[in-house]
Amino acid sequence: MAVVAQTPDIAGERQSGQDVRTQNVVACQAVANIVKSSLGPVGLDKMLVDDIGDVTITNDGATILKMLEVEHPAAKVLVELAELQDREVGDGTTSVVIVAAELLKRANDLVRNKIHPTSIISGYRLAMREACKYVEEKLSVKVEKLGKDSLINCAKTSMSSKLIAGDSDFFANLVVDAVQSVKMTNARGEVKYPIKGINILKAHGKSARDSFLMNGYALNTGRAAQGMPLRVAPAKIACLDFNLQKTKMQLGVQVLVTDPRELEKIRQREADMTKERIEKLLKAGANVVLTTKGIDDMALKYFVEAGAIAVRRVRKEDMRHVAKATGATLVSTFADMEGEETFEPSFLGSADEVVEERISDDAVVMIKGTKTTSAVSLILRGANDHMLDEMDRALHDALSIVKRTLESNTVVAGGGAVEAALSVYLEYLATTLGSREQLAIAEFAESLLIIPKVLSVNAAKDATELVAKLRAYHHSAQTKADKKHLSSMGLDLSEGKIRNNLEAGVIEPAMSKVKIIQFATEAAITILRIDDMIKLIKEESQNED
């Protein structure tokens, strides 16, 4: 029985018990229903228009949920969940929200049937641990056996639900090449793939198939002045984080002038200070100067005369990547310990060449042949902004997935195979337990089937029949010793039948699946624990006259 009480000393309302739980579950279902239809290779896109009328067309779960301004506190947990999945794995944002909402719905039914939330939570935790263990031990396949094709297949699986699915062969190759070219080994001897070093530039015009991978880091700005050379080789790069403009006196500095002729000298000195700074830069050997702030015309003159390329208003993020790739130090002031202004040549980064190239209508400055790490840029071409943005999101997911596959080295079959296998396994596990958790684990097993169900519904196929067949295959794979190979059976959504997805090349990194299960369970538990909601009403402060 829910009580909405108004206690005399607290201004606000309090709901408790089943009411709150139902309300939270309904809110989470609503969020999950928004992204549900965008799951899978035939998922549909969402068009989101924000308060100032900007349009986003996407089917990336994290992006959709970020754009929605969710008010309900429990539903916010799901939005944060999708962001966490995006940060940790990069793909699978839609699945994680759908699974979490389904787990909640089932748990709510159990609570209605007089099972205490604590029993359900411990059951869910147990099921989560068992499921992750089962994925890692029984379902995952080492990548070594599969070779480069497996990486391309992972990328294609990740892209299958996106806008560029039609050209997935072409883009999957681009993505795999890009990730492999930023390979590096860190101090501990681990091989890492910092995909942040892959710069994605969007340029209008041509078709999506004209996108290409370019060695070197591309900056989305041109040279600061036309008189500068188009190409500098070999390049010594200075990365600055301050203005190269006429130095103004700081605020609060007072200069008392008795003689008006002195004014001119002050002005002259202000101009000379900038000139001296630039001379220090050039003397240290810099022939490419990047700054995050502005450079004024007077300062540009000196660079033009020295035959150096200067680029202004470079994004902070780009600056960090360039500094890392070329071995430069990002300098935010020239002042040294003694209060003098100096610029050490050791602050410079080096690259084979820096060139300005034109891509469609934009000038792009390319930094090629960087010293420390190999930086690459993906230049995307496409018809319009919406398409380019969506391609960017799709490639971000694919890059993350390839990175995860390379670093973790294990993959699993996609297309609902893992979920169906886990569902069968957990259902059997539930029957072996003699405790209350049995019911919770059975519901957990049922919840996982939501993924193959939604996949087949989105593909306009008969979900009930396909999921039943799928479970039958997995049941025999787990009970009969000679049918082990059936454990990678999954859905073929274009044909509407069951096939071996490992052979068909529909694969994803095992880590992605494990994280989905972990995060979804954690989120469901967090929301399930809530049985009281107290909303405080702000007190109107009395005007003290």
Q: Is 93 a catalytic residue?
A: yes
pLDDT of amino acid 103: 92
Is the separation of the CB atoms in 521 and 103 below 8 Å?
yes
- Looking at residue 168, its pLDDT comes to 80
Cα separation, 198 vs 457, in Å, equals: 36
Is 307:287 a contact under the CB 8 Å cutoff?
Answer: yes
Q: 3-class DSSP state for residue 56?
A: strand
Q: Is 410 in the active site? A: no
pTM of the model: 0.81
What residues have CB less than 8 Å from 350, skipping those under 6 apart? 234, 235, 236, 237, 326, 327, 371
CB atoms within 10 A of CB 19: 15
- How far apart, in whole angstroms, are the C-alpha atoms of residue 177 and residue 172? 9
414 φ, ψ (degrees, to nearest 5):
-100, -165
Rg (alpha carbons) of the chain, rounded to whole number: 29
Q: What is the pLDDT along the chain (545 residues), one digit of tens a residue?
A: 555 555 556 677 888 878 888 888 898 899 888 888 888 777 788 888 888 888 888 888 888 888 888 888 888 888 888 888 888 888 888 889 999 999 999 999 999 888 888 999 999 999 999 999 998 888 888 877 656 778 888 888 888 878 777 788 888 888 888 888 877 777 777 777 777 778 888 888 778 888 888 777 888 777 777 877 888 878 888 888 877 777 676 777 777 888 888 888 877 877 777 778 888 888 888 888 888 888 877 778 888 888 888 888 888 888 888 887 788 888 877 777 776 777 777 888 888 888 888 777 777 888 887 766 677 888 888 888 888 888 888 888 888 888 888 888 888 888 888 888 999 999 998 898 888 888 899 999 999 999 989 988 888 888 889 889 888 988 888 888 787 778 888 888 888 888 888 888 888 888 888 989 999 999 999 988 888 888 888 776 655 55
What residue ranges in 360-502 does DSSP mark as E strands? 362-370, 376-382, 410-413, 489-492, 497-500
Determine the distance from the C-alpha atom of residue 245 to the mean position of all C-alpha atoms in its chain, rounded to a whole number: 37
Number of Cβ within 10 Å of residue 414's Cβ equals 26
Domains and CATH numbers, the chain: 229-373 (3.50.7.10)
Ranges of beta strands (E only) in 221-348 are 231-232, 235-240, 288-291, 309-311, 330-331
The active-site residue, picked from 63, 94, 274, 292, is 94
Q: Which of 63, 93, 292, 326 is catalytic?
A: 93
Query: In 16-146, which ranges are continuous DSSP H helix?
Result: 18-36, 61-67, 73-88, 93-112, 117-134
Residue 389 annotated as catalytic: no
pLDDT of residue 405: 84
List the catalytic residue out of 45, 60, 86, 389.
60
Task: For residue 15, give the 3-state DSSP assignment.
Answer: strand
Task: Give DSSP secondary structure letters for 342-392.
Answer: ---GGG-EEEEEEEEEEETTEEEEEEEEESSS--EEEEEEESSHHHHHHHH
According to the model, what pLDDT value does residue 388 have? 86
Reading the block at residue 248, the tokens are 């103004």
| Nearest-angstrom CA–CA distance, 161 and 393 | 12
User: Sign of the C-alpha dihedral, residues 440, 443, 445, 451?
Assistant: negative
> Could you tell me the two tokens for 239?
């990365």
Half-sphere exposure of residue 430, counting CA atoms within 13 Å on the CB side? Answer: 25
- Give the strand pairing for 349-359 and 309-311: unpaired
In 407-519, DSSP assigns E strands to 410-413, 489-492, 497-500, 507-509
- Reading the block at residue 241, the tokens are 């984080």
* Annotated catalytic residue, options 45, 91, 389, 397: 397
Q: Is the dihedral angle over the CA atoms 491, 495, 498, 501 positive or is it negative?
A: negative
H/E stretch holding 463 reads helix 463-479
Assign 55 to helix, strand or coil.
Answer: strand
Is 169 a known active-site residue? no
Round to whole Å and give the CA distance between 370 and 365.
14
pLDDT in the model for residue 100: 92
If one counts every other C-beta atom within 10 angstroms of the C-beta of residue 200, the result is 17
